[in-house]
Amino acid sequence: MPGQRATGGLIVALMLAGCASATKVSEPAAPATPAVAKLDMNGRWMLSAPNAPSCGMNFEAAPGAYEGAIRPEGGCPGNFFMSRHWTLAQGQLTISDHKNEMLGQLTLSGARFAGKSTAGTPVTLARAVQLQ
């Protein structure tokens, strides 16, 4: 009789384990993060704004990095002459000054960036064309 109780108890335990696994709620899948284009920001870019002269900006970063330094050439519209740092995350380029205060945010659109300065001025940033 004790053997039958043990066997019966084992069967009940196995059945309950089966029910538990059948009713287990699966965890929601992690949301997919949008892929960030592998864009080499190193080199000379031209920053433009309406009714203002364009200026050259030299972007520098370690290979594969999504942040780095900026060396503006001067004559940049608005406060962009104070640009010193850039960060690229999910297609958004943020340009900051030496105090790490944001000067503008631009969105990747094709081969260029378009956005606004913190003052609301529309700006574009495109790779400078090199003449051969």
The structure tokens 């009940």 sit at: 12
Q: Domain limits of the chain?
A: 43-127
Fold (CATH) for 43-127: Lipocalin (2.40.128)
Q: What is the pLDDT of residue 24?
A: 47
Half-sphere exposure of 63 (CA within 13 A, CB side): 0
Give the DSSP letter of residue 27.
Answer: P
Per-residue pLDDT of the chain (132 residues; tens, 9 = 90+): 555 554 455 454 445 455 444 444 444 444 443 444 568 899 999 999 999 999 999 999 998 899 999 999 988 999 999 999 999 998 899 999 999 999 999 999 988 999 999 999 999 999 987 665
Backbone torsions φ then ψ of 7, nearest 5 degrees: -65, -45
